[in-house]
C-alpha cells in the first residue's frame, strides 16, 4: 500500500487552458451534476429528447434491482440517428468516415450519404440471406470501413451483432459464434499489419466446425487481383452481396429494450461473458457521453484509435460520434509503422481535433521518444482522451506536456463493456489530477466502497461500485442470469465493477486495477481461466496457473506456471510450443510472455489454485493469509 499512499499525497492539479474550457456542452460540472441528482429522470429525458424516436417513452425508468428498463414503450432505430438524420439535416455531403490503411494515400472516404447507402445495401444483402430482427450476426473483420458498415447494417434491420476482435484465434471465435447462436458470420480474406497481410478466413473455417447455427459466411475479399476462392455452398462475397441490395432500406422499428448487440468480455471464471446491450438506453448513453465528455463540435475531426471490435470502438468509434454527425477517422495502421511518427502524421494530415487512445499506446509513444511528435504540427488537437487501464501519473504528464502542449484537457475515462458508456472522468474545465480518472459524470453515481457497500474512507482502497442504474448499463449476461445478478448482489445491492480504487477528499477516483482474476494486457481484458484452459488443452500440460506481472509498457504481461503430465519433460522447445498453442487457440493478445515449469501449484484445500501466492512469490511480496493453503 506504501506506493498508493505516496500517489495520493502527491496531488498535483492542472487546469486546462481557458480556451479549451470555454463554451463546453456540459457548462459547469457541479451545476450539471446537481441537476441530475435533483431529478434523474428529467436529466436523462432531456438527453433522450435530442434524439429521433418513432414513439416516445411512457416512463423513463423502471428499476427492480437488478433489472432496469429504460425509456419504456419508446421505439426507433439507432441507425436513423447515425445516418438518416444527418443526411436529412444538412450533413448529407459532410464526411462521416475517413479510413486510413497502411501505405501512402491508402484512404477511403465516405460522406454521410455514401455511408447511409452502403449500410442500406448491406442491410438488404443480409435480409436476402434470411437475416431478420433478433437474429445474431458475428462480425470478424479487420479495421476496415466494412466493419462499421456491417455493424450498422445489422442494427438497421434489428439483427443483433456480436463483433469479434480481429486479433482473436479460432477457439475464441468459435466460442462467440456458438454462444451467440450466430446465423451469419462476416469476415475478410486478410488483415494488414506492419506491412504484412495476415490471413483471416481460415480461422473462421475452423471456428464454424460444430457451429450448427451458421448458415452463411460473408467474405470481404480485399485482394482483388488474385482473390481467394470461395466455397460457394456456404460462402458469399461481401461486395456481390452489397451490389445486389437496394440503396433504400427502411429502419426496423426497435423497442427501447430490444437487444442491439452482444459483446463478449473475459470472465473471471471460464468462458467469456456475452454482455447484452439494448437499443434505447445504450443509444442515449452513447450519444450523451460522446457529446459531453469529448465536447464534440460540428467542425471537429474525431479519432478514437480503438478497434470497433471492443466496446470502446462500438460506443466511441461507431455509434456515439456518428449520432453527433461527426467526421470520424478510422485507421488500420499501428502507432509505430512505417515509423514511430505514424499517429502524429495522421493527426497533422487530417487535422484531428479530438484524440482518444489507450495508456499502453501512450507508454509506447514515450519509449519511442519526443522527437517523433516534435516533428509534426499537432496544433489541431483540442481534447485528449485515455481509456482501458490506469493512466499512471508519468504517462499523464507526458501526454499533457508533449501532445497537449501543456494546455489541453485530458479525459481519462473509466468505464467497462458492461457499463456501455463513460462513467468516471474529469469533465473538461474541471481541475485535472494526474493518476486520477476523476469523478462520476453527471448521470451516474460511482463510489468507492467497502465489502458492505458503505463508502470507504477517503484515501483508502475499496471496491469501485455504482449506486444507481444508468441507461447504457448491460441488461443481462447472455444465457447466464446468475452471473448478471452477481454484479448487483455481491456488495450490498449496488453494482460491483470488479476494480479496486481510491477516492480522495475531493471525490476524485484513482482506479488501481482489477480485484478479480482478470489481467489487463495492453488495455485488453484477459481472463486467467481462458489462458489456463488453453494451456491445459495441450497434450503435455497437466495444470496451469496464470498471473499478471506488472510491465512498464503493457501494464501487465501474462506469466504462466505449468505442471506437465508424466512422460513430458520441461524444455525451451516446449515453452515455445505452449506459447504457440495459446496464440493459435486464443490469439496473440492472450499469449503468455513467460512460462515457468513447476512440480506442483499452490492450492487451497478445496483444490482451487491460489494465484495470489504465485503472484506474491513472483513479485517478492508478502503472500498474505495462507491458512487455506494445502500442506
Ligand atoms: C476494465 C474494463 C471501457 C473500455 C475499455 C475496456 C479497466 C478501463 C480505465 C481507466 C483505469 C480502466 C478497468 C475496467 N479500465 N478504463 N480509465 N482507468 N482502469 O473495457 O475490456 O470491459 O475492461 O478496464 O479495470 O474494469 P473492458
423-448 pLDDT, tens digit each: 999 999 999 999 999 999 999 999 99
For residue 5, the model assigns a pLDDT of 38
Residue nearest atom 18 of ligand 1, based on CA coordinates: 390
For residue 6, the model assigns a pLDDT of 39
Does 384 have pLDDT greater than 80?
yes
Q: Predicted confidence band at 7 (pLDDT cuts at 50, 70, 90)?
A: very low
Sign of the torsion formed by the C-alpha atoms of 267, 269, 270 and 273: negative
Across the chain, mean pLDDT equals 93
Tell which atom from ligand 1 comes closest to the C-alpha of 414: 17
Residue 353 lies in a domain: no
Residue nearest atom 5 of ligand 1, based on CA coordinates: 388
Residue nearest atom 12 of ligand 1, based on CA coordinates: 389
Does 164 have pLDDT greater than 70?
yes
For residue 3, the model assigns a pLDDT of 38
Q: Are 582 and 533 in contact (CB under 8 A)?
A: no
Q: Which residues contact 214 (CB under 8 A, 6 or more apart)?
A: 177, 182, 183, 184, 185, 208, 234
| Residue 511 CB less than 6 A away from ligand 1 | yes
d(CA 398, CA 224): 43
| Residue 514 CB less than 6 A away from ligand 1 | yes
Q: Are 559 and 550 in contact (CB under 8 A)?
A: no
Q: Predicted confidence band at 603 (pLDDT cuts at 50, 70, 90)?
A: confident
**From ligand 1's centre to the CA of 220, what distance in Å?**
31
Residue nearest atom 24 of ligand 1, based on CA coordinates: 388
What string of H, E and C letters represents the secondary structure of 330-362? Answer: EECCCCCCCCCCHHHHHHHHHCCCEEEECHHHH
d(CA 555, CA 521): 6
Of 331, 266, 286, the closest CA to residue 155 belongs to 286
CA-to-CA dists, residue 441 to 36, 306, 437, 506, angstroms = 10, 22, 11, 14
Residue nearest atom 19 of ligand 1, based on CA coordinates: 389
Q: Minimum mean pLDDT among 464-478, 575-589, 611-625: which range?
A: 611-625
| Residue 422 CB less than 6 A away from ligand 1 | no
Residue 342 lies in a domain: no
Looking at residue 450, the DSSP 8-state letter turns out to be -
Rounded to two decimals, the pTM is 0.90
For residue 2, the model assigns a pLDDT of 34
Q: Minimum mean pLDDT among 98-107, 220-229, 398-407, 534-543: which range?
A: 534-543
d(CA 144, CA 149): 9
Termini Cα distance of the chain: 29
Does 522 have pLDDT greater than 90?
no
d(CA 103, CA 32): 45
Residue in this structure with the C-alpha cell 466446425, named with its chain if needed: 209
Question: What is the side-by-side strand order in the sheet with 410-413?
Answer: 107-111, 95-100, 327-331, 301-304, 354-357, 383-387, 410-413
In percent, the amount of the chain with pLDDT more than 70 equals 96
| Residue 387 CB less than 6 A away from ligand 1 | yes
**From ligand 1's centre to the CA of 388, what distance in Å?**
4
Residue in this structure with the C-alpha cell 476524485, named with its chain if needed: 508
| Residue 264 CB less than 6 A away from ligand 1 | no
For residue 81, the model assigns a pLDDT of 98
Range of the domain at 567: 518-619
In percent, the amount of the chain with pLDDT more than 90 equals 80
For ligand 1, pick from 7, 307, 389, 433 the residue to mutate: most ligand atoms within 8 Å of CB: 389
124-137 pLDDT, tens digit each: 999 999 999 999 99
Looking at residue 251, the DSSP 8-state letter turns out to be P
For the CA atoms of 503, 509, 510, 512, what is the dihedral angle to 10 degrees? 80
595 three-state secondary structure: strand
d(CA 395, CA 384): 13
Does 371 have pLDDT greater than 50?
yes
Number of domains in the chain: 1
Does 347 have pLDDT greater than 90?
yes
**From ligand 1's centre to the CA of 524, what distance in Å?**
8
d(CA 176, CA 429): 41
Residue nearest atom 14 of ligand 1, based on CA coordinates: 416
What is the arithmetic mean of pLDDT over 358-375?
93
For the CA atoms of 239, 244, 250, 254, what is the dihedral angle to 10 degrees? -60
d(CA 391, CA 434): 8
Residue 609 lies in a domain: yes
Does 275 have pLDDT greater than 50?
yes
For ligand 1, pick from 265, 511, 524 the residue to mutate: most ligand atoms within 8 Å of CB: 511
Residue 531 lies in a domain: yes
| Residue 321 CB less than 6 A away from ligand 1 | no
Q: Which residues contact 332 (CB under 8 A, 6 or more apart)?
A: 99, 100, 101, 102, 142, 143, 144, 191, 192, 193
| Residue 288 CB less than 6 A away from ligand 1 | no
**From ligand 1's centre to the CA of 398, what distance in Å?**
21
DSSP string across 521-568: ETTEEEEHHHHHHHHHTSTTEEEEEEEEEEETTTEEEEEEEEEEPTT-
Output the domain CATH number for residue 570: 3.30.300.30
Q: Show the beta-strand stretches assigned E in 376-434.
A: 383-387, 410-413, 424-425
Residue 382 lies in a domain: no
Residue 574 lies in a domain: yes
| Residue 362 CB less than 6 A away from ligand 1 | no
| Residue 389 CB less than 6 A away from ligand 1 | yes
Amino acid at each position: 500500500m506504501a506506493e498508493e499512499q505516496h500517489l495520493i499525497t502527491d496531488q498535483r492539479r492542472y487546469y486546462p487552458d481557458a480556451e479549451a474550457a470555454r463554451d463546453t456542452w456540459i457548462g459547469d460540472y457541479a451545476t450539471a451534476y446537481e441537476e441530475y441528482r435533483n431529478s434523474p429522470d428529467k436529466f436523462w429525458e432531456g438527453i433522450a429528447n435530442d434524439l429521433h424516436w418513432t414513439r416516445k417513452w411512457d416512463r423513463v425508468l423502471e428499476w427492480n434491482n437488478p433489472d432496469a428498463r429504460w425509456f419504456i414503450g419508446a421505439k426507433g432505430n439507432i441507425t436513423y440517428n447515425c445516418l438518416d438524420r444527418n443526411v436529412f439535416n444538412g450533413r448529407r455531403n459532410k464526411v462521416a468516415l475517413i479510413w486510413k490503411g497502411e501505405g501512402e494515400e491508402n484512404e477511403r472516404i465516405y460522406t454521410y450519404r455514401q455511408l447511409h447507402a452502403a449500410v442500406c445495401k448491406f442491410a438488404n444483402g443480409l435480409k436476402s440471406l434470411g437475416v431478420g430482427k433478433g437474429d445474431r450476426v458475428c462480425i470478424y473483420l479487420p479495421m476496415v470501413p466494412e466493419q462499421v458498415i456491417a455493424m450498422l447494417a445489422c442494427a438497421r434491420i434489428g439483427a443483433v451483432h456480436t463483433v469479434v476482435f480481429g486479433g482473436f484465434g479460432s477457439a475464441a471465435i468459435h466460442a462467440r459464434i456458438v454462444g451467440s447462436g450466430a446465423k451469419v458470420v462476416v469476415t475478410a480474406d486478410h488483415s494488414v499489419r506492419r506491412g504484412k497481410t495476415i490471413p483471416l478466413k481460415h480461422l473462421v473455417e475452423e471456428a464454424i466446425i460444430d457451429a450448427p447455427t451458421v448458415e452463411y459466411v460473408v467474405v470481404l475479399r480485399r485482394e482483388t487481383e488474385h482473390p481467394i476462392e470461395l466455397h460457394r455452398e456456404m460462402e458469399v462475397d461481401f461486395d456481390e452481396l452489397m451490389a445486389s441490395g437496394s440503396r433504400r432500406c427502411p429502419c426496423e422499428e426497435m423497442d427501447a429494450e430490444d437487444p442491439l448487440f452482444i459483446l463478449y468480455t473475459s470472465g473471471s471464471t471460464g468462458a467469456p461473458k456475452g454482455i447484452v446491450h439494448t437499443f434505447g438506453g445504450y443509444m442515449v448513453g452513447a450519444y450523451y457521453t460522446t457529446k459531453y465528455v469529448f465536447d464534440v463540435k460540428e467542425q471537429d475531426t474525431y479519432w478514437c484509435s480503438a478497434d470497433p471490435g471492443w466496446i470502446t470502438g462500438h460506443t466511441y468509434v461507431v455509434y456515439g460520434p456518428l449520432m453527433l454527425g461527426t467526421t470520424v477517422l478510422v485507421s488500420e495502421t499501428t502507432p509505430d509503422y512505417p515509423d514511430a511518427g505514424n499517429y502524429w502524421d495522421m493527426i497533422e494530415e487530417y487535422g484531428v481535433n479530438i484524440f482518444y487512445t489507450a495508456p499502453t499506446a501512450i507508454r509506447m509513444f514515450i519509449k519511442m521518444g519526443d522527437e517523433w511528435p516534435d516533428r509534426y504540427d499537432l496544433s489541431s488537437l483540442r481534447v485528449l482522451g485515455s481509456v482501458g487501464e490506469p493512466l499512471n501519473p508519468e504517462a499523464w504528464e507526458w501526454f499533457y506536456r508533449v501532445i497537449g502542449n501543456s494546455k489541453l484537457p485530458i479525459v481519462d475515462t473509466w468505464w467497462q463493456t458492461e457499463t456501455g458508456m463513460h462513467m468516471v472522468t474529469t469533465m473538461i474545465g474541471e481541475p485535472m489530477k494526474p493518476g486520477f480518472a476523476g469523478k462520476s459524470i453527471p448521470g451516474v453515481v460511482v463510489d468507492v466502497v467497502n465489502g458492505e457497500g458503505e463508502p470507504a474512507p477517503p484515501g483508502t482502497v475499496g471496491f469501485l461500485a455504482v449506486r444507481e442504474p444508468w441507461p447504457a448499463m448491460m441488461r443481462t449476461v447472455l444465457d447466464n442470469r446468475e452471473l448478471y445478478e452477481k454484479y448487483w448482489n455481491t456488495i450490498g445491492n449496488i453494482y460491483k465493477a470488479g476494480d479496486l480504487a481510491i477516492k480522495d477528499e475531493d471525490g476524485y477516483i484513482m482506479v488501481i486495477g482489477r480485484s478479480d482474476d482478470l489481467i489487463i494486457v495492453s488495455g485488453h481484458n484477459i481472463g486467467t481461466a481462458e489462458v489456463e484452459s488453453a494451456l491445459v488443452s495441450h497434450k503435455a500440460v497437466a495444470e496451469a496457473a496464470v498471473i499478471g506481472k506488472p510491465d512498464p509498457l503493457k501494464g501487465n504481461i501474462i506469466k504462466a506456471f505449468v505442471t506437465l503430465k508424466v512422460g513430458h519433460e520441461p524444455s525451451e522447445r516446449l515453452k515455445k510450443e505452449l506459447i504457440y498453442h495459446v496464440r493459435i487457440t486464443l490469439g496473440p493478445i492472450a499469449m503468455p510472455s513467460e512460462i515457468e515449469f513447476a512440480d506442483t501449484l499452490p492450492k487451497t484445500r478445496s483444490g482451487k489454485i491460489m494465484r495470489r501466492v504465485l503472484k506474491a512469490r513472483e513479485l517478492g511480496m508478502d503472500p498474505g493469509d495462507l491458512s487455506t493453503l494445502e500442506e
